[in-house]
Structure 1
């Protein structure tokens, strides 16, 4: 399956991969992005071959003959409903990541699937914006140290806390986002701040408000290099506050680029 659309770079081609050489190119691309230590690679060639052979989602994005992005996903439970997106990466800007996700969405819908799930680091601001605002996906759970400590250029041996994302493929948010309409939400006037950024550090403000705001760093990857102890404080603050709220039944209803996650409690604390 090859894909082009009005919303993607005009010279970009996205297609399913089938050969060992193509899988090797994908392996190189992923390792270029994550720069993992040996044994920490997100996928290896044999896994890619097995996934493609069993008709899972293994695709590359090309500008000319150069692979500039790739994505791997596999069928999940409930069977016939869910595709789980394991890893997606690009090495150029200009809408390649968005085009890959829209290709993945079309591929899943053509196979009768209704949802795509994936995990991502809630401390990464640009990915939060991409997932919630540009795609219209919503978080549905917090997972503590999901992959264990990972030593690569992105994670820097940090604990791998993840938000589990749920993307309803034919819902109004995903349909609007596919046309380039951002799913924007601004913090309501009665929302109270639960975590604010003060310099490099998180400031936790206990609150029983029905709607709370949980901010995240501007650039956690740079912070891990510049101030590793501050990055660790952010990890544990967001885990305790955002993870705690979700564990108590709260819902993340949106992301305000200026204020952070918008979280709605279903019952106020006494």
Structure 2
């Protein structure tokens, strides 16, 4: 089956359709979408990236990005929304990659919720991007279907466009894990902290943080604080996330300085 058609958006009716799509994905009223048609129009007119994915003439995904710092090297991808499980998000990111390379850019950055396992797997394993910084409550509390009023912790992630385009192999993050310590373990659905003094440590995630936010806000907050303290603390110390193991655990390598 052919993939979706990806193209840049330029007309107000296209931006309005994308805005409504974002509102549906994030469970928000169409009067308060994550990005308005007017903002997309301004960004596109100024030469930034606004693109949509189409299937049989129907918009099924969209992505908005703008030039970032360092100037002339970086594109910051602000939002990408698409129907899940059909390769639409990947098609949008690959189109965005080619768009950035055509303009001489060397990397794309974006933020994502570090607690959502499918996003971590997509970003780290499928794309080969790497978290660089933990950002506490980046947007404040967000009242939508995805964030459920939780604080919006994010990790700033960078995709090196000069690296090979091949996706990582499923066993990539398994190398050297025999001696890894569990700095944060999923123990019966609850976060359990452990020693983080090994050269390589694992940081588990909950099975489904979005469902947990709806069903048990206390448990969801416990996970938020545990990941913030563990993963955020490791990144602040200079440790590097080198992979994502078994679709559930960040693999973090502590440099000699951060491990001292």
Superposed, 1:127-206 pairs within 5 Å as 127-172=119-164, 175-177=165-167, 184-186=172-174, 188-206=177-195
1:165-217 alpha-carbon deviations (Å, 9 max, x no partner): 10001202xx112xx86683116211000111122210111332121100001
User: What does residue 207 of structure 1 align with?
Assistant: 196
**In structure 1, C-alpha distance between the alignment counterparts of 2:14 and 2:243, rounded to whole Å:** 38
**In structure 2, C-alpha distance between the alignment counterparts of 1:205 and 1:114, rounded to whole Å:** 38
Deviation at residue 11 of structure 1 after TM alignment: 4.9
**Residue 203 of structure 2 contacts residue 231 of structure 2 at CA under 8 Å; is this kept in 1?**
yes
**In structure 1, C-alpha distance between the alignment counterparts of 2:133 and 2:152, rounded to whole Å:** 14
Equivalent residue for 1:95, pick from 81, 87, 94: 87
**Residue 64 of structure 2 contacts residue 79 of structure 2 at CA under 8 Å; is this kept in 1?**
yes
Equivalent residue for 2:56, pick from 60, 64, 73: 64
**In structure 2, C-alpha distance between the alignment counterparts of 1:266 and 1:113, rounded to whole Å:** 29
Deviation at residue 257 of structure 1 after TM alignment: 1.8
User: What does residue 116 of structure 2 align with?
Assistant: 124
User: What does residue 13 of structure 2 align with?
Assistant: 21
User: What does residue 219 of structure 1 align with?
Assistant: 208
**CA separation of 1:258/1:117 partners in 2, compared to 1, >3 Å: closer, same or farther?**
closer
| 196-205 or 145-154, larger mean C-alpha shift | 196-205
**In structure 1, C-alpha distance between the alignment counterparts of 2:159 and 2:22, rounded to whole Å:** 23
1:75-100 alpha-carbon deviations (Å, 9 max, x no partner): 01111100000000112531111101
Equivalent residue for 1:108, pick from 100, 112, 122: 100
**CA separation of 1:182/1:99 partners in 2, compared to 1, >3 Å: closer, same or farther?**
farther
RMSD: 1.8
TM superposition score normalised by structure 1:
0.91
**In structure 1, C-alpha distance between the alignment counterparts of 2:40 and 2:213, rounded to whole Å:** 30
Deviation at residue 103 of structure 1 after TM alignment: 0.3
**Residue 132 of structure 1 contacts residue 183 of structure 1 at CA under 8 Å; is this kept in 2?**
no
Superposed, 1:255-270 pairs within 5 Å as 255-257=244-246, 260-267=249-256, 269=259
**CA separation of 1:145/1:152 partners in 2, compared to 1, >3 Å: closer, same or farther?**
same
**CA separation of 1:231/1:101 partners in 2, compared to 1, >3 Å: closer, same or farther?**
same
**Any stretches of 5+ residues in structure 2 without a counterpart?**
none
